[in-house]
Structure 1
Amino acid sequence: MDTAPALRIVIVAPDTLAPDPADAQAWWEAERSRSLRIGLLEGGYNIVAVLPPDVFLPERLAQIQPDMIIVDAESQARDTLEHVVFATRDARRPIVLFTDDSDTSHVKDAIAAGVTAYVVAGLASERVKPVLDIALARFQHEEGLRRELADARTQLQDRKVVDRAKGILMSRHRCNEQDAYERLRKASMDKGLRLADVAQRVIDVADMLG
């Protein structure tokens, strides 16, 4: 039995659920938005908030901390998307864009901006969950790759710092590379610091002393 908690979703959307009856386009957008929300609820998702795409969005998202953001955008989706991307720049989350804009020329820009999935209107409510499941899996995969790349860069930088510190110790103490490394390692253990942090301190002191 699956006991995993439902994903907490924030929908970013203009207020289109009570449009002007004389505005056919607004009514179409309202029906699309209603179908999307029904699909989310039927899929077991937890809609924790529906927020407007305004300047307060970053603060509201920071307070709510959703698992996923759904951008329910009308044909002028670019401004809405810019607000969302800006709001999530420091805390990345999967972003799924549902739009009635059939012009797919913006897809590449949207994906580059951080959108995990781009869905054009017409999606039946029962297909919402599979789309979001795939979007979440893709986001998690990409975040894993991003972390691996960041770790590799950190390890490379740490290695450079340690190598430089060893060179300083070898020069000052007339010792070989292994002895210099052991000095760094012992200091690291004694002080409870990362080897690279100890090495950076050695470099900082050497630079200060000239």
Structure 2
Amino acid sequence: MLCRMPDVLSIVVVETDRERAFMIVDGLREAGDFDIQVISEPSGLARQIQMRDPDVVLIDIANPSRDVLEELTLATGPKERPVAMFVDRSEDGLSAAAVEAGVSAYVVDGLQPARLKPVLDAAIARFRLFQRMRTELAEAKRALEERKVIDRAKGMVMKARGIGEDEAYALLRKAAMDQNKRVADVAQALVTAAGLLA
């Protein structure tokens, strides 16, 4: 299910340095109308973010280690919301690890107030793209599983009635219409019942 961003975004800024936090908040206020909250103490980050339930998470960290990156990205629920991470320096492979962990935007060379809005917009767009892709993939997997169940049920009907594939499917479809159900649901019920009787 795709999430829709509200008109006024709530943003959680994770920043331990007070001066940098003020700079980020000021930059965001200049860029638009946002509901901004700052987390200055990253211990218990997952709980803090969950309590605030923001639309977007913005993390500013000087030099993340792989452990810090993993902890931060897991804490922000990257599958639930866009995450933008600003870093001053990055080791080889950290940007790829950040993307794999679900960070929507990973910006090296620090945070500059003028870049906040474009980076947030890019993070949201990228998050929506990946969210759409995850939804489409889940739907494709579900359709494939349903197709397999329908094929099994068709095979069972063909064997039991001594009829062809088209006739077996027509029987499943008629049963589905009579019961006001989907063909996949009728097929699943048939496969489940056959499993109990076997």
Tell whether the structures are fold-level matches, with TM greater than 0.5: yes
The structure 2 residue matched to 1:203, chosen from 184, 188, 191, is 191
Give the drift of 1:11: 1.7
Alpha-carbon distance between aligned partners in 2 of 1:68 and 1:168, rounded to the nearest angstrom: 50
Amino acid across the alignment from 1:165: A
| 1:50–1:6 CA distance, 2 compared to 1 (3 A) | same
Aligned to 1:101: 89
Aligned to 1:54: 43
- How many residues align structurally? 192
Residue range with higher mean Cα deviation, 95-104 or 109-118? 95-104
| 1:53–1:192 CA distance, 2 compared to 1 (3 A) | farther
Aligned to 1:25: none
Alpha-carbon distance between aligned partners in 2 of 1:193 and 1:89, rounded to the nearest angstrom: 36
**Is 1:128 paired with 2:116?**
yes
Aligned to 1:21: none
Alpha-carbon distance between aligned partners in 2 of 1:188 and 1:129, rounded to the nearest angstrom: 51
Q: Any stretches of 5+ residues in structure 2 without a counterpart?
A: 1-5
- Contact 1:116–1:135 (CA<8 Å) still a contact in 2? yes
Aligned to 1:172: 160
Structural RMSD (CA)? 2.5
Q: Any stretches of 5+ residues in structure 1 without a counterpart?
A: 18-29
- Contact 2:62–2:110 (CA<8 Å) still a contact in 1? no
Amino acid across the alignment from 2:182: R
Alpha-carbon distance between aligned partners in 2 of 1:104 and 1:73, rounded to the nearest angstrom: 16
Alpha-carbon distance between aligned partners in 1 of 2:153 and 2:78, rounded to the nearest angstrom: 33
Aligned to 2:173: 185
What's the TM-score once normalised by structure 2's chain length?
0.82
Alpha-carbon distance between aligned partners in 2 of 1:58 and 1:123, rounded to the nearest angstrom: 23
Amino acid across the alignment from 1:82: E
Aligned to 1:6: 8
Q: What is the CA deviation profile of residues 36-89 of structure 1, one whole-angstrom value per residue up to 9, with x for unaligned ones? A: 22221211152442234333x334434433221111223245444323332355
Alpha-carbon distance between aligned partners in 2 of 1:50 and 1:80, rounded to the nearest angstrom: 18
Alpha-carbon distance between aligned partners in 2 of 1:9 and 1:188, rounded to the nearest angstrom: 47
What's the TM-score once normalised by structure 1's chain length?
0.77
| 1:121–1:45 CA distance, 2 compared to 1 (3 A) | farther
SS in structure 2 opposite 1:115? coil
**Is 1:163 paired with 2:165?**
no
Give the drift of 1:104: 5.2
- Contact 2:15–2:59 (CA<8 Å) still a contact in 1? yes
**Is 1:142 paired with 2:130?**
yes
Give the drift of 1:94: 1.2
Alpha-carbon distance between aligned partners in 1 of 2:35 and 2:71, rounded to the nearest angstrom: 19
- Contact 2:25–2:36 (CA<8 Å) still a contact in 1? no
